Amino acid sequence: MSLTRIHNFSISLDGFATGEPQSADAPFGHAGQRLHQWMFATRFWDARGTAGVDNAFAERHSHGIGAEIMGAGKFGPPGWQDDPDWKGWWGADPPFHTPTFVLTHRPRPSIEMEGGTTFHFLDVPADEALSTAQDAADGQDVRIGGGPTVVRSFLAAGLIDHMHLVQVPIVLGRGVRIWDGLEGLENAYGIEAVSSPSGVTHLTFTRKVVA
């Protein structure tokens, strides 16, 4: 059974997964890299990094994943659709290494990158995108890569099996919030919280099995 998973999705204390304004120079706006410093400090990111609880969670990002779905806002800065040469932020060898589906109202032909990543562009609802990604994942799981608008829409549609959030002790004040419109989310998930010596708190949501 293919699961739909979210990993290493970092939010501020006030629930913002990105700051504002987003641009080519500042993909996360005024948040800068502050939401992701915890990850840069792990072995998952850097061989000299830590091997503690932050790393244990971070490494799960890649295991057993056969495809990713991301929103247009993750693939590029506002307006990337007007640049026919834009191929994402990540250089020639993006860190996905699987078919990667970009949700956009202005789809373009697929782009094959090095290292196993192929970007496909879809203008379809969440459930249809998931079906397509599951077919491409060939029995493995599908990761929902963000940003927050995409995560929210998949949660609201009841499509997420596992979600790992990382709460960073900063108050961003503005940006795009993860929580809006998700009242009662706890009814569908078992939730665990684990604080780390690094200062972040890992929150895991595991979908309850309906007997």
Contact set with a copy of itself (CB under 8 A):
13-15, 167, 169-174, 177, 179-186, 191-195, 199-201, 203
Q: Which is nearer to a copy of itself, 78 or 190 (CB)?
A: 190
Amino acid at 114: E
Between the alpha carbon of residue 63 and those of residues 5, 92, 140, the distances in Å are 11, 22, 9
User: Does an H or E element contain 143, and which?
Assistant: strand 141-144
Shortest distance in whole angstroms from residue 176 CB to a copy of itself: 14
Q: Which is nearer to a copy of itself, 137 or 163 (CB)?
A: 163
Shortest distance in whole angstroms from residue 26 CB to a copy of itself: 16
Closest among 58, 37, 98, 45 to 204, alpha carbons compared: 58
Shortest distance in whole angstroms from residue 99 CB to a copy of itself: 32
Q: Which is nearer to a copy of itself, 116 or 199 (CB)?
A: 199
Q: Which is nearer to a copy of itself, 109 or 197 (CB)?
A: 197
Q: How far apart are CA 43 and CA 168, in angstroms?
A: 19
Tokens found for residue 12: 């501020």
Q: Which is nearer to a copy of itself, 115 or 199 (CB)?
A: 199
Shortest distance in whole angstroms from residue 189 CB to a copy of itself: 9
Helices marked H in the chain — which ranges?
A: 37-40, 53-59, 72-75, 126-137, 148-156
Q: Which is nearer to a copy of itself, 103 or 200 (CB)?
A: 200
Tokens found for residue 74: 């993750």
Tokens found for residue 49: 């990094």
Strand ranges of the sheet holding 111-112, from the earlier edge strand across to the other edge: 111-112, 118-122, 99-103, 65-71, 141-144, 4-12, 162-168, 201-207, 189-195
Shortest distance in whole angstroms from residue 134 CB to a copy of itself: 27
Shortest distance in whole angstroms from residue 37 CB to a copy of itself: 12
Q: How far apart are CA 142 and CA 135, in angstroms?
A: 10
